[in-house]
Structures are given as C-alpha cells and as structure tokens.
Amino acid sequence: MAGDRARADHEANGPAGAPGVSPPNAGTERAARRQLFGTDGIRGIANVEPLTAEMAIKLGRAAAYTCLRRQGRHRIVIGKDTRLSGYMLENALVAGICSMGVDVLLVGPLPTPGIAFITASMRADAGVVISASHNPFQDNGIKFFSGDGLKLPDELEERIEALIFTDEIDAIRPTATRIGKAFRIDDAIGRYVVFLKNTFPRELTLEGIRIVADCATAPPTR
C-alpha cells in the first residue's frame, strides 16, 4: 500500500505537469529523464522511496558537490516545517552535506520564503527546504534553492540526479578538518520577522482587519 501510494504521489507531483496539459517537446524529454525531481522538488511518503534517509544522504552529497565552485569553505542552509519526519531527513541531509566538506546552517522550522531569505542574506551557496506544503502529514519533500534564494534551474536538478545514480563522487571523502560542520542559527526567525516588517509600508495599517490563518503543519504553528 505504501509503495503504491508513493508511486502515485511521485507521478502526481512529477515533472510532466498538470493532468491533461501537454508540455513542449523539450519539457517532455526532460521529464522522461528525471527519476526524482518533480515540479516542486522531491515529494512522497516519508521513509518510503524516494523520501528515505538513505536517499537524503545521497541528495546532500550531490547538492554539496555542485556548490564546490570556488576556494574556501562552503555553506548550505537547511530549514523545515513541523512534520515529524523532518528530523530524520534533516539529519540525513546534514550527514551527506558535511561528508563532502560543506558546512550546514540549521534554521529549524521556518516558512519556505524565510529559508530562501536566510540563504540569500547569509550569502550561503544553497538552501534546502524540508516540507511537503499542503500534502498530508505523512508526506514530506525536499526542495533546493540556489545561493540567491531562487529555485534551482532544471539543468542543475538533472545534474544532482546524475550524481546520485552514478559513482562519479563516491570516492570524494574529505577527512580531518576538511569535513563539514553544522551550526544552529538561533536568530533566523527574528531575522525573517524584521525583514517582513520592513516590507510593510509605513503609511498602511491592519487596524480593523480580521485575518484567518490556516497553518496546518507550517512553521507558524510554533
């Protein structure tokens, strides 16, 4: 049952697009080549392929490798929503990223735009969101951002997949002080709140306005 559900979810969120919509030929060819990434990262039932700890380690290693484009230390931001499976996937991603000699900045539960903001504002090389948005609680997902806080281009997602399903980076094993380190960013929420406040025009007010928020498993439920 779980395997069937996972396959159904992967097909539903796959790169072929919405049902009944025929993408251009280039998009169809790209979709046929993909095994993991859909239109919004990788999604499925947590702890069932492809959302397993083992796959998360491989994703972390592959994503970290694509960041090694300059000298010096590299950093990747990781944030998540409040799903229980987020702990499992977060730690697996950290292990994979650090094993490639890249440092990790952990921000904990934070909205997806907040993780994109932290990634760009802290000048990290990339960002990772562990969340399945509106999907059921047993689901989860992994989505990557570039250093400027934007979704990765299709070509880079394809490159990550290629690294996962080949042995190209298997022999890359930094040792001693070259192994990556993980740091907790305790003021990430505060940074994002200040940013949001600064986006609201001073001449406007919310006085008299009633707002309903359906947070579900989103970080604001904290």
66-77 per-position pLDDT tens digit:
999 888 999 999
The pLDDT tens digits for 52-107 are: 999 999 999 999 999 998 889 999 999 999 999 999 999 999 999 999 999 999 99
What tokens were used for 147?
A: 């250093």
Residue 33 in this model has a pLDDT that exceeds 70? no
140 belongs to a structural domain: yes
54 belongs to a structural domain: yes
208 belongs to a structural domain: no
**57-67 exposure pattern, b = at least 16 Cβ within 10 A, e = fewer:** bbbbbbbbbbb
Domain range for residue 92? Answer: 2-15+34-200
27 belongs to a structural domain: no
The pTM (predicted TM-score) of the whole model is 0.81
Distances (CA, A) of 205 to 140, 187, 202, 214: 36, 27, 8, 22
53 belongs to a structural domain: yes
**Active-site position among 22, 121, 133, 146:** 133
What tokens were used for 161?
A: 């997949």
133 is catalytic: yes
Mean pLDDT of 186-207: 93
45 belongs to a structural domain: yes
Number of structural domains the chain divides into: 1
| CATH code for the domain in which residue 72 is found | 3.40.120.10
How long is the chain? 222
195 belongs to a structural domain: yes
The pLDDT tens digits for 107-141 are: 999 999 999 999 999 999 999 999 998 889 999 99
- CA-to-CA distance for 125 and 202, rounded, in angstroms? 33
85 belongs to a structural domain: yes
What tokens were used for 137?
A: 């609680």
